[in-house]
């Protein structure tokens, strides 16, 4: 007897599941739900739902559009009803709307949707086909919009990622292509300048620094294409990502110093140097992620030295705490070659300090810069950055006038040069440079920029070091 009761119970449960699945599948065929020429089974399912007098939508809430999750399961009736706008009314009564849908969700029962469209609620705003209630605040790229009196009231900041500027560049004859970078989406131009650059304009003393005389060789004496990456493989360090830390002053200095030390030591020292060591510890007239000077960074490298990137990685590395940006994790004494304590990254055992010789200014003449790179390795350059530079994807960069006249200073690493014919067959000369915005930006973290025309002041101030002291 007990065995028969168990079988009967299992049969009832299976029947309820089957009916529920059947009702759910019918939402994919609205016309079948609205039709009065339904099968006997469909009529019975509809009657079962219409018989339920409950407060489904009052409990579940109302949903806009079609939302299959916006449903209420009536277990006792083996039925599923909905509280979204896709549910409808048809003769002779409710089809898949919950019984209290019209009362709670403010939609009166009436003819089918095909005969009388659903009226939007009074007040509120629409955007991209979606309804937002009065007072709703949404983010539109770098601007905020509020629904007020059924109209959107939006802020008018200039966004770093502008589709019109991207289209203008890509449809024009600028020699380079632009792209939409998700890392810059939602940022204003001013935020981009503040968070993604960070090199102070050169001081008067730096601008008055005497240039090392060049030998003024003719351009024909140089190879048409040169890259330090191929000249010194394994000794040139890849671009890092400064993220939203305005400290290109530290990243460019550490990268050029690391390359030069590797070349000067003939590969005996190949460690990358820690930009974070400079950001957190070089605090004399420096402002960390809020900007700094490259001459101050070079002085710190000479007097104090920094550890390797492996020893002291960037503060967003999982091995460091969230407050690491504002705390110096290493200490040292003058003349010592190791720090007074272990590495901030516990997985790295070597706490060796690396120092470099005094920095010097390279002649601004194009061929003198080329000779310096070819003989001794990458150099550091300060450049003007306009808003269109953030969008650079590939090609030979030059400033687009549509991008406006606002600019801030940035420092990068120059490591080579080349030339390519443009569409008119004219030779287009360029520098090869490494940025500090990660490898997803530009040409795998690098960019090319016009050479010989001081584009964006790229040739105005060039610094280097001889490597180790």
pLDDT at 77: 64
pLDDT at 5: 45
- The H or E element that residue 413 is part of is strand 408-421
Distance CA 297, CA 460 (A): 19
Cα-based angle 417, 423, 429 (whole degrees, multiple of 5): 15
Q: Where are the beta strands (DSSP E) in 21-154?
A: 71-74, 79-82, 89-90, 93-94, 125-127, 130-132, 137-140, 143-148, 151-154
Q: Which residue is it, tokens 């957190």?
A: 280
382 neighbors 409 (Cβ within 8 angstroms): yes
CA atoms within 13 A on the CB side of 190: 5
- For residue 447, CA distances in Å to 162, 249, 393 come to 20, 18, 8
pLDDT at 82: 81
Buried residues in 218-233 as b, exposed as e (16+ CB within 10 A): eeeebeeebbbbebbe
Distance CA 280, CA 367 (A): 37
Distance CA 98, CA 81 (A): 5
**Domain span(s) for CATH 3.90.70.10 in the chain:** 166-465
Which positions are catalytic? 410, 435
Cα-based angle 134, 137, 141 (whole degrees, multiple of 5): 140
Phi and psi torsions of 435, nearest 5°: -95, -175
- Predicted TM-score of the model (pTM): 0.73
Buried residues in 172-189 as b, exposed as e (16+ CB within 10 A): eebbbebbebebbeebbb
Determine how β-strand 71-74 pairs with β-strand 79-82: antiparallel
Distance CA 83, CA 60 (A): 8
212 neighbors 363 (Cβ within 8 angstroms): yes
pLDDT in tens, the chain (469 residues): 445 545 444 444 444 445 444 444 444 433 333 333 334 444 444 434 343 446 777 777 788 777 777 887 776 666 788 888 777 654 334 567 887 777 777 654 444 444 445 555 667 888 877 888 899 999 989 999 999 998 999 999 999 999 999 999 999 889 999 999 999 999 999 999 999 999 999 999 999 999 998 787 899 999 999 999 999 999 999 999 999 999 999 999 999 999 999 999 999 999 999 999 999 999 999 999 999 999 999 999 999 999 999 999 987 666 555 556 668 888 887 778 999 999 999 899 999 999 999 999 999 999 999 999 999 999 999 999 999 999 999 999 999 877 778 999 999 999 999 999 887 888 999 999 999 999 999 999 999 999 999 999 999 999 999 888 7
Distance CA 447, CA 385 (A): 13
| Long-range pairs of 418-426 with CB within 8 A, sequence gap ≥ 24 | 418/224, 418/225, 418/226, 418/227, 418/448, 419/224, 419/225, 419/451, 420/396, 422/175, 423/173
Question: Based on the number of CB atoms within 10 Å of its own CB, is 321 exposed (0-12), middle (13-18) or buried (19 or more)?
Answer: exposed
pLDDT at 317: 63
pLDDT at 123: 79
Name, in order, each residue with C-beta under 8 angstroms of 294's C-beta and a sequence gap of 6 or more: 199, 202, 206, 249, 252, 253, 380, 382, 411, 463
Residue positions counted in the chain:
469
Select from 265, 281, 372 the least CA-distant residue to 325: 281
Name, in order, each residue with C-beta under 8 angstroms of 364's C-beta and a sequence gap of 6 or more: 211, 454, 459, 460, 461, 462
CA dihedral 107, 111, 113, 118 (to 10 degrees): -30
pLDDT at 24: 45
Residues facing 84 on adjacent strands: 63
The fold of 166-465 is Cathepsin B; Chain A (3.90.70)
Structure tokens at 272: 């990358």
pLDDT at 403: 72
227: left (phi over 0), alpha (psi -120 to 50) or beta: beta
195 neighbors 244 (Cβ within 8 angstroms): yes
pLDDT at 160: 95
pLDDT at 237: 97
């Amino acid at each position: 007897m007990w065995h028969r009761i168990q079988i009967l119970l299992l049969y009832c449960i299976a029947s309820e599941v089957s009916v529920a699945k059947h009702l759910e599948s019918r939402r994919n065929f609205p016309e079948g739900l609205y039709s009065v020429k339904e099968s006997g089974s469909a009529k019975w399912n509809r009657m079962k739902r219409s018989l339920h007098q409950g407060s489904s939508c009052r409990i579940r809430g109302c949903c806009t559009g079609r939302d299959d999750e916006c449903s209420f399961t009536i277990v006792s009736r083996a039925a599923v009803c909905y509280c979204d706008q896709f549910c409808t009314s048809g003769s002779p009564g409710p089809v898949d709307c919950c019984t209290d849908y019209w009362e709670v969700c403010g939609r009166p029962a009436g003819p089918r949707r095909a005969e009388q469209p659903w009226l939007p609620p009074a007040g509120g705003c629409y955007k991209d086909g979606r309804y937002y209630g009065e007072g709703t605040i949404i983010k539109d790229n770098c601007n905020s919009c509020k629904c007020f009196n059924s109209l959107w009231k939006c802020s008018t900041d200039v966004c770093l990622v502008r589709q019109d500027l991207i289209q203008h560049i890509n449809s024009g004859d600028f020699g380079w292509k632009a792209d939409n970078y998700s890392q810059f989406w939602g940022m204003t131009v001013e935020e981009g300048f503040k968070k993604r650059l960070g090199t102070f304009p050169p001081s008067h003393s730096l601008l008055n620094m005497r240039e090392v005389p060049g030998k003024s060789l003719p351009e024909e004496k140089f190879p048409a294409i040169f890259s330090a990456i191929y000249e010194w493989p394994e000794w040139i360090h890849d671009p890092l990502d400064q993220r939203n830390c305005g400290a290109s002053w530290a990243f460019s200095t550490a990268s050029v110093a690391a390359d030069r030390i590797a070349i000067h030591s003939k590969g005996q020292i190949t460690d990358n140097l820690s930009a974070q060591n400079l950001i957190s510890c070089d605090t004399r007239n420096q402002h960390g992620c809020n900007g700094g000077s490259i001459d101050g960074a070079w002085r710190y490298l000479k007097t104090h030295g920094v550890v390797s990137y492996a020893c002291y990685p960037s503060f967003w590395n999982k091995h460091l705490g969230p407050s690491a940006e504002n705390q110096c994790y290493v200490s040292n004494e003058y003349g010592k070659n190791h720090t007074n304590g272990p590495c901030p990254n516990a997985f790295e055992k070597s706490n060796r300090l690396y120092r470099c010789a005094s920095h010097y200014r390279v002649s601004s003449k194009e061929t003198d810069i080329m000779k310096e790179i070819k003989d001794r390795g990458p150099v550091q350059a300060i450049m003007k950055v306009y808003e269109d530079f953030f969008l650079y994807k590939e090609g030979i960069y030059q400033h687009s006038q549509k991008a406006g006249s606002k600019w801030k200073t940035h420092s990068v690493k120059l490591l080579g040069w080349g030339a390519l014919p443009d569409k008119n067959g004219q030779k287009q000369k360029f520098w090869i440079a490494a940025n500090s915005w990660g490898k997803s930006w530009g040409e795998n973290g690098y960019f090319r920029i016009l050479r010989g025309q001081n584009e964006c002041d790229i040739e105005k101030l060039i610094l280097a070091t001889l490597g180790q002291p």
